[in-house]
Amino acid sequence: MPARMAFVLLIIFDIEVSRTDLTQDAIMIRSVQKEGIMARSIEFDKPEALAAAIEAIWHSGYHAVSTNDLIAEMGLAKSSLYNTFGSKHQLFLAALSHYADERAAQLAAALEEGPALDTLRGLLNAIASSNDGGKGCLLVNSAIEVAPHDAEVAAAVQHGLEKMARVFAAFIRAAQARGEVGAHLDPQQTAISLITGIAGLRAMAKAGFRPAALRPFIDGLLLGLAAGQ
């Protein structure tokens, strides 16, 4: 019986055929098919892969990082990247969404650490001093580098910043309920003002302004937030 026909019968009728009944070609075909099935079944940690992609893009910028750079950082085969994300661009959009989710959760946790204005000042001082190790914010960086020429990235950046704004708005409302922040403030508008101010603070820090030079900027962001003002 020809090798390929033997293999077909094996698959269609689930025939148990010993190795002695198959030619070497049939055995090879079966082996290749099995390896292909195993390769397709191999899974990877998608959040971990996205975190690696974020670091690569965050460090070099979207346009500077190549697909080969990304697959090396993510530890994936190129086929896995394309099968999972579709393209470098789609991977970037997924990375922005993942970054925004992670940062919103981290921000919410950080804003619960103490009195509202002290906590907020500490956050702003940390940005002025470190600015995420000089990398800035991936959303702000992408807004400057990519969003002006890419509507999908612009929408992803806006969506991510809106997530941050919702966290700040909830923070303002909670602080108002405790009497720590002025009751006259509109939480949503105040949140947008904070997001805008932080974006400017990050840009200035990335441009090389030292923390002492940025202190008046921080004071201005906090001006008028306290209860009774």
User: Predicted confidence band at 14 (pLDDT cuts at 50, 70, 90)?
Assistant: very low
Phi-psi region of 133 (alpha: psi -120 to 50; beta: other; left: phi over 0): left
* pTM confidence score: 0.78
What is the band of 45 on the pLDDT scale with cuts at 50, 70, 90?
confident
- The values of phi and psi at residue 226, to 5°, are -65, 150
Q: Which of 26-30, 94-98, 170-174 has the lowest mean pLDDT?
A: 26-30
The CA dihedral of 49, 126, 169, 58, to the nearest 10 degrees, is -30
Encode pLDDT of 149-181 as tens digits: 999 999 999 999 999 999 999 999 999 999 999
Domains of the chain, residue spans: 3-41, 90-222
pLDDT at 9 over 70: no
Alpha helix segments (H runs only) across the chain:
3-13, 24-41, 46-60, 67-74, 78-85, 88-110, 116-129, 138-145, 151-177, 187-206, 211-222
Which range is least confidently modeled, 37-46, 57-66, 165-174?
37-46
Report the Cα 208 to chain-centroid distance in Å. 25
Confidence of residue 228 (pLDDT cuts 50, 70, 90): low
Residue 171 near residue 111 (C-beta atoms within 8 A): yes
- Taking domain 90-222, whether its CATH number is 1.10.3720.10 is answered by no
